[in-house]
């Protein structure tokens, strides 16, 4: 174990872990929103994120973005990418709810049917992105779907440069953008859920659906809202992933989805602030583990930490459900 490397550059590894964990946290919000209201683990949410990455690449390609544009153009392309990813991911999440989950709810399907459906939807979306679209439109959109199941690179929108240097710790402009943008998005969602009339409806349905219906809350609208909100958060995560890592792939969501779900469980699934804490914690654990051993161990260590935490804290680090979130 390389303790010298870990403690010799502890600050740098912490910065790397926080910027990585911020993306996990944004994706985890989609899991925790849906579970908090429906008690449903939406495993297809990871592919909603992947749709967002392809939407970012498609928007940048359509508007002719080149590597390392000027500052003004970079801001414009970031806004374009955010809008495209939010619309694509939010629309995909809403479509999944309307096409698959709503009919099951109306038939009072058991929880196992919902779980199997979620896994099936995840596999279907992976095959659509990795196999069907390349065959149908690969010739028209070779940049997006020219190769089946292959990694697709993205143009560099922001060149990484040191922004702040404290001793041996350097914070780059990209890391700062990713971390503070994720915090801003999560703060806005937390404010929306806890301070707005629509947010009160979400919390009411999460706490007691029957009583909320008697009080006039439209459950279908609330459920549509949480799917759209989760999709928008996944779209924002897709943009930050594109800025930070610069590639996508049809199967990208599998491991990322498991890690984001792990982050949600670590923090307390159904708890928005828990998703933030779990994501940041998981990012730190992965980077520290990769430094101590090798990067091949980071996934193993992440899930081992999940098991250990749940042994002593079964409800997660925070554990408060969405329905009991205080206004």
- pLDDT (tens place) for every residue of the chain, 327 residues total: 777 888 888 999 999 999 999 999 999 999 999 999 998 999 999 999 999 999 999 999 889 888 888 889 999 999 999 999 999 999 999 999 999 999 999 999 999 999 999 999 999 999 888 887 776 666 556 766 666 678 888 999 998 999 999 888 999 999 999 999 999 999 999 999 999 999 999 999 998 889 999 888 999 999 999 999 999 999 999 999 999 999 999 899 998 999 999 999 999 888 899 999 999 999 999 999 888 887 777 888 888 888 888 888 888 888 766 655 443
Structure confidence at residue 130 (pLDDT): 85
Q: Is the pTM of this model over 0.75?
A: yes
Residue 231 backbone phi and psi in degrees, to 5: -65, -40
CA distance 245 to 248: 9
Return the CATH fold of 3-157+166-312: ABC transporter involved in vitamin B12 uptake, BtuC (1.10.3470)
Structure confidence at residue 151 (pLDDT): 86
267 neighbors 276 (Cβ within 8 angstroms): yes
- In this structure, what is the dihedral angle of CA atoms 47, 311, 316, 11, given to the nearest 10 degrees? -80
Structure confidence at residue 327 (pLDDT): 38
169-172/247-248 β-pairing: unpaired
162-166/169-172 β-pairing: antiparallel
245 neighbors 20 (Cβ within 8 angstroms): no
- Kind and range of the H or E run holding 210: helix 209-214
Structure confidence at residue 241 (pLDDT): 96
Tell me the three state secondary structure of residue 247: strand
Q: Which residue has the tokens 């240097």?
A: 165
Structure confidence at residue 326 (pLDDT): 43
292 neighbors 280 (Cβ within 8 angstroms): no
Structure confidence at residue 313 (pLDDT): 84
């Amino acid at each position: 174990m390389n303790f010298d490397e870990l403690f010799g550059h502890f600050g740098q590894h912490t910065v790397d872990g926080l910027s990585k964990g911020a993306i996990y946290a944004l994706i985890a919000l989609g899991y925790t929103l849906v579970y908090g209201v429906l008690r449903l683990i939406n495993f297809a949410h990871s592919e909603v994120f992947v749709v967002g990455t392809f939407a970012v690449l498609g928007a940048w390609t359509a508007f002719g973005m080149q590597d390392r544009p000027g500052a003004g153009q970079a801001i414009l392309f970031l806004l374009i990418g955010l809008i495209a990813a939010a619309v694509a991911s939010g629309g995909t999440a809403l479509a999944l709810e309307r096409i698959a989950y709503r009919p099951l709810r109306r038939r009072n399907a058991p929880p196992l049917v919902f779980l199997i459906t979620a896994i099936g939807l995840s596999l279907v979306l992976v095959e659509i992105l990795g196999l069907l679209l390349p065959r149908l439109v690969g010739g028209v959109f070779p940049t997006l779907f020219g190769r089946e199941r292959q990694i697709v690179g993205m143009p560099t929108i922001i060149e990484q440069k040191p922004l702040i240097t404290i001793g041996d710790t350097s914070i780059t402009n990209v890391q700062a953008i990713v971390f503070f943008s994720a915090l801003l998005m999560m703060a806005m969602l937390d404010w929306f859920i806890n301070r707005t009339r629509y947010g009160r409806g979400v919390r009411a349905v999460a706490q007691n659906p029957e009583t909320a219906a008697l009080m006039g809350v439209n459950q279908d609208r609330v459920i549509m809202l949480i799917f759209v909100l989760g999709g928008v958060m996944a779209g924002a995560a897709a943009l930050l992933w594109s800025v930070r890592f610069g590639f996508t792939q049809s199967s990208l969501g599998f491991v990322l989805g498991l890690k984001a779900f792990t982050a949600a469980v670590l923090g307390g699934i159904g708890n928005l602030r828990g998703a933030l804490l779990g994501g940041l914690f998981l990012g730190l654990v992965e980077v520290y583990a990769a430094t101590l051993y090798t990067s091949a161990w980071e996934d193993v260590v992440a899930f081992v930490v999940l098991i250990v935490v749940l042994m002593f804290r079964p409800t997660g680090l925070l554990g408060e459900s969405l329905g009991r979130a205080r206004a």
